[in-house]
Chain A
Amino acid sequence: MHKEADIRLPLILGDKSYKDITEDIVKPIEGKAPKTWYLLFMISVVIALWGVGCIVYLLGTGVGVWGLNKTVGWAWDITNFVWWVGIGHAGTLISAVLLLFRQKWRFAINRAAEAMTIFAVMMAGLFPLIHMGRLWLGYWVFPLPNQFGSLWVNFNSPLLWDVFAISTYFSVSLVFWYIGLIPDFATIRDRVTKPLAKRVYKVLSFGWTGDAKAWNRFEIVSLVLAGLATPLVFSVHSIVSFDFATSVIPGWHTTIFPPYFVSGAVFSGFAMVQTLMLILRKAYKLEAYLHVKHVEYMNIVIIVTGSIVGVAYITELFVSWYSGVEYESYAFLNRATGPYWWSYWAMMTCNVISPQLFWFKKLRTSLMFSFFMSIVINIGMWFERFVIIVTSLHRDYVPSSWSYFHPTWVDIGVFMGTLGIFFVFYLLFSRYFPVMPIAELKTILKSSGKNYKEGYGHGKGYWDKHAEH
């Protein structure tokens, strides 16, 4: 058993046993769904259907139904794409990077955050596909032998790197998530009594037995997958930033983009985890497993990544002046004072100023404030991508072609629709899948559980002295 200092706050509160952990996490799956779940699910389904309708309309009519024009050729579509990919960065970061750093508090959030990652990356992938206009030719992005002569995709292009990065990221995250889920599905399989549920979980659990060798392999697979996923997480958003950074548009052509995008992605990903988990813990009565300390840890990650983002914004401004390139300088001056000043300042307020409030312990340990901030950050990070994309494009080198972007109802509908689809998936996940890793929470019970830390009334440190090995 790994010993933990007494001054560390326990990660699992209350008087929990192994049995309680199983009970607490499986109960919401076995019982009937509450009315609010059905209500939220219906709302999400309606929004999702509206979004699907918008996508079908877009595909049937053409990309012209979006508000794009000759100057602003990329707008909400790519903004949404980058926003969703960014959100999809927290899950694997939590389970991979925090695993390598042996951060045990990750167990409260990793399962749900990985699910969020997978659904968010699915939503992200949708945008480049529908942006092609001809969805059914989407497979052209892969280097497949074809009948068009020796026509291959261009491996020099960051857009192709993106194809590889995002499909690798999606599939590896999915595998990572599922491998963690198998033992927990086995727990549910061995508990449920309804015949249909038993059969379904039997298939899902792949016949997991939990023998010593299987757990031995499980731990190594998790570790190696974490080792592989860690550089993968950093590569994905770096490559997304290359889509912009390798172009010659003033405002995009900057070497600071990769680290700036990666920290922005982690920043927004953690914010989304907070938004979802703060509701989930209440709805599923999992307050003992995800409490103020976990939220505080997440808020610390938010301060760090938010500050990196802030420094990046300011560096960018400084370099645009210091470079002496007038187009570069103008691009940034125009962002802050041009027709899109409101989006620039929304971004600055939400992403640079507001996370600094978390330096106050009172604020970063307040659940209500954290929830509010998580929404603010999500909005801010959407504006960041909007600012980068639209304000850099809308005034190009020829003033006669300067323009302004107005989203149409299809732009808005598709974005709202992806939110709807995301929540449909997420609600289904939280209804049928274990939202916290049951097996892994059991491994930290004796080192980080409140009852064990306090020695069951024997006083602190009792088990350190009296543990039998």
Chain B
Amino acid sequence: MADKVIYAMYDDDDTLMNGAKHLVKEGVKVSDVYSPMPLHGIDPIIGVEPTRLGIAAFLYGLTGTMLAIIGIRYMMIIDWPMNIGGKPNFSLHENMLSFVPIFFEFTVLCAAHGMAITYLLRNKTLPGMPARNPDPRTTDDKFIIEIKSSENAHIEDKKLSDLIKSTGFIEIEEKKY
């Protein structure tokens, strides 16, 4: 079945927010919202789940700490213990204090870069990727609600368009896929 996608454009974030709230209350599934800036509070309305990137960052950080401990233990304790004024050089924990700064730095390095790479991949944002926003004005001052007819099969077309009409959009566009 050909999918029909409706893009309703708004010139104010509050209008969009109220419109989305209204649509969702009437049982319409809003599949996405495009905006030039983060809209605080839109996620629970249209059912966007909180991202798990924070957890990912924690795991990347943990990996970094482990790698740093393993690496430094191998280089400084096992492979070539340095004799610095006869200080203990044969166990990790006795030497640990002076390794802490690099444990920390490496943790941050892995957490930050791991998360940043995951973020770019999950968003499908990589150098040269084509822009997928439905209208170039959504990165300037316009806001768009995206509604897919396949997700709203339970609502009659007439009722759906009436509902959308009541939200105060400034432009509307239908695309068939």
Contacts and interface: CB of A to CB of B under 8 A. Distances in A.
A18 B141 contact: yes
A209 B53 contact: no
A202 interface: yes
B115 interface: yes
A168 B131 contact: no
B75 interface: yes
Given A206-B120, A206-B129, A190 B43 contact: no
Interface string B24-47: 000000001111111110110010
B98 A155 contact: yes
Contact of B102 (A150, A160, A204, A214): A160
B115 A155 contact: no
Given A206-B127, A212-B46, A239-B101, A469 B18 contact: yes
B159 interface: no
12 contacts: A18-B37, A143-B75, A154-B76, A164-B109, A165-B101, A179-B116, A206-B128, A211-B33, A213-B32, A216-B38, A221-B53, A469-B14
A233 to B, nearest CB: 11
B125 A208 contact: yes
Interface string B117-152: 001101111111111110011111100000000000
A66 to B, nearest CB: 29
Given A156-B82, A206-B126, A221-B115, 14 more contacts: A18-B36, A18-B37, A155-B75, A161-B105, A168-B105, A182-B125, A186-B133, A189-B139, A191-B139, A208-B125, A232-B105, A442-B36, A467-B14, A469-B14
Interface in B85-103: 95, 98-99, 101-102
A166 B80 CA distance: 26
Interface band, chain B: 35 or more
A279 interface: no
B2 to A, nearest CB: 22
B37 A212 contact: no
A212 B43 contact: yes
A186 B135 CA distance: 12
A209 B34 contact: yes
A167 to B, nearest CB: 8
B131 A205 contact: yes
Contacts of A171: 109, 112-113
Interface stretch (A118-126, A222-230, A319-327): A222-230
Given A203-B127, A220-B51, A1 B40 contact: yes
A202 B75 contact: no
Contacts of A156: 76, 82, 84, 95, 98-99
A440 to B, nearest CB: 7
Interface of B: 13-14, 17-18, 21, 32-40, 42-43, 46, 48, 50-51, 53-54, 57, 61, 71-72, 75-76, 79-80, 82, 84, 95, 98-99, 101-102, 104-106, 108-109, 111-113, 115-116, 119-120, 122-133, 136-141
Interface residues of A, number: 72
A235 interface: yes
Contacts of B32: 211-213
A154 B128 contact: no
Contacts of B48: 212-213, 216
Contact of A207 (B71, B79, B113, B129): B129
A29 to B, nearest CB: 14
Interface string A438-463: 11101100100000000000000000
A157 B130 CA distance: 47
A2 interface: yes
B75 A152 contact: yes
Nearest to B140: A22
A219 B43 CA distance: 12
9 tightest A-B CB contacts, nearest first: A207-B129, A190-B136, A18-B141, A206-B125, A442-B37, A215-B38, A152-B75, A164-B105, A161-B101
Given A221-B119, A235-B101, A216 B18 contact: no
B140 A18 contact: yes
A217 interface: yes
